[in-house]
Amino acid sequence: MSKFSLEPHGILVSEVHRNATPAFLYEAALRHEKGSTISSTGALIAYSGKKTGRSPTDKRVVDEPEVRDEVWWGNVNIKLDPHSFDINRERAIDYLNTRERLYVVDGYGGWDPSYRLKIRVICARAYHALFMHNMLIRPKADELEDFGTPDYVIFNAGGFPANKHTAGMTSSTSIDLSFGKREFVILGTEYAGEMKKGVFTIMNYLMPKRGVLSMHCSATQARDGSDTSVLFGLSGTGKTTLSADPKRLLIGDDEHCWSDDGIFNIEGGCYAKVIDLSKEQEPDIWNALGYGAVLENVVFDPFTRVVDYTDVSITQNTRGSYPLDVIPNAKIPAVGGHPKNVIFLTCDAFGVLPPVAKLTPAQAMYHFISGYTAKVAGTEVGVKDPEATFSACFGGPFLVWHPTKYAELLADKLRKHGAQTWLVNTGWSGGGHGVGARMKLKFTRAIIDAIHSGALDKVATVDDPVFGVAVPTECPGVPTEILVPRNTWADKAAYDAQAKKVATLFRDNFKKYEAQASDEIRAAGPRV
């Protein structure tokens, strides 16, 4: 790799390791990065420092003429002056130029060659290089030789802070994206997930311009290739668990696009939460965390190097990164046909949504824009009662266009390809958290199986009087009495009050989107 130079990017460091092997990156991390070690299973253990999660309030998008009228400006996409971006970019390059050695990862975002982006990552830490080696799609030798000019460059100078006095800065962390310059600059955070989500944000802008729906979801395919499904869901809804289905092939666990040709994964790997990970509950993830994987911010036994996945003393956001192809049932290349089923997962801790419901296209758009789940008491500091959480399109922090843009694309795909949308509640039944019980995983799996088999297409439904969705009256493998949530509550009046409360939360949240939503979408919400 001696011929490779970063001079076109203003970087003059002589020791540059481009697309180094995992073995080389292991050695470099162990030699140069404090705290790095190898777990008992062979994964590289690394630490991101003070920041152990994303910094959404520090993310900026450069206010440039070519994107000014397209970006959904606000709390998700905070404006940054081009001059401030130039200052941060120069600060990042100056820092990278002070390093003895740098690492470059050239890879692709998007498995479909028609839509893939060439991404270049320039970083100072071997762990970051190994992480992106996993998360980007790895070029073959001839593709790397002919890689040419990248479409986007990520300058990861996370070990150096932003200058808080630079206009637009609110802290020493700044994550800046310039669509005009096609560059992404990271300062003041070494959390690896910022790079991954940077790529997703870029795709979230570019793909809708080409009529392609970018999605924060998992995707699976029948082993015989007969059908494809996508599963949307926020943290804690069971998206990862339910997509790890031995009866189906895994296309991907987190980020996909839906084009006129079908769906494709954006990533070459998976980035899974590993808090409370067990071999029994998540065997595929457990087995994937061997050689080549990165374990981020975990606690381990200093003698045995066995990781304690229950220990949250560093962070609750412990993570594991691994290539997609170590999953036994992974579909490589990670592409699939048009989905027959689109599944919205929610963990309703209030216990009022049905375990499964069929949605009309308008309801699908409403619930997609809403992106509802609920935090459960006891899982986060300060959460005493269930709290509703809404994240537009099930990926609010990474949207670039207004949520209705993605909802309209989804509706178009649903109509064009005849896909059915389902709402599946993996949360509580018989009462809210503290009164009822969480839906058994075996029942949820049976519901997903029935969706895939087509069994639910043929059964009678009843309309939920509050949420207006069509609730199946029977489902193979699921007790009939739990399908209508009101029937599971001992106190019917309490159910009615709680359902009205949640419906009102939906309505209140949707107010910020009403101006750009059609009458049909607005009418598809709960009946309050």
Q: Enumerate the H helices of 100-173 as residue ranges.
A: 126-135, 141-145
- Active-site residue, 318 included: no
DSSP 139: P
Catalytic residue, candidates 37, 41, 166, 235: 235
Catalytic residue, candidates 36, 52, 214, 240: 240
Catalytic residue, candidates 54, 125, 248, 413: 54
- Active-site residue, 34 included: no
Neighbours of 337 (CB within 10 A): 15
Neighbours of 8 (CB within 10 A): 8
Determine the Cα–Cα distance for residues 295 and 135; give it in Å rounded to an integer: 13
Strand ranges in 289-366 using DSSP code E only, listed in sequence order: 294-296, 299-300, 307-308, 319-323, 335-336, 339-346, 356-359
Phi, psi for residue 215 in degrees, rounded to 5: -140, 135
Catalytic residue, candidates 319, 331, 413, 452: 319
Determine the Cα–Cα distance for residues 173 and 196; give it in Å rounded to an integer: 17
Pairing of the two strands 319-323 and 294-296? antiparallel
Amino acid at 56: P
Can you tell me whether residue 509 is helix, strand or coil? helix
Give the closest residue to 447 by CA, choosing from 471, 419, 476, 421.
476
- Active-site residue, 197 included: yes
Q: Provide CB contacts within 8 A for 416, sequence distance 6+.
A: none
Question: Which residue is listed with tokens 């009843």?
Answer: 462
Catalytic residue, candidates 51, 197, 331, 375: 197
> How far is the first Cα of the chain from the last one, in angstroms, to the nearest whole number?
64
Determine the Cα–Cα distance for residues 81 and 281; give it in Å rounded to an integer: 47
Can you tell me whether residue 263 is helix, strand or coil? strand
Determine the Cα–Cα distance for residues 88 and 104; give it in Å rounded to an integer: 20
Give the closest residue to 314 by CA, choosing from 352, 275, 350, 283.
275
- Active-site residue, 235 included: yes
Question: Which residue is listed with tokens 């789940």?
Answer: 373
- Active-site residue, 218 included: no
- Residue 73's Cα: distance from chain center in Å? 21
The CA-based dihedral angle spanning residues 301, 306, 312, 318, taken in that order and rounded to the nearest 10 degrees: 130
Catalytic residue, candidates 18, 239, 340, 433: 239
Query: Omega before 333 cis (within 30°)?
Result: yes
Give the closest residue to 367 by CA, choosing from 349, 334, 394, 399.
394
State the sign of the Cα–Cα–Cα–Cα dihedral 65, 67, 68, 74.
negative
Catalytic residue, candidates 176, 227, 254, 348: 254
Can you tell me whether residue 137 is helix, strand or coil? strand
- Active-site residue, 54 included: yes
The residues annotated with a catalytic role in the active site are 54, 197, 216, 235, 239-240, 254, 319
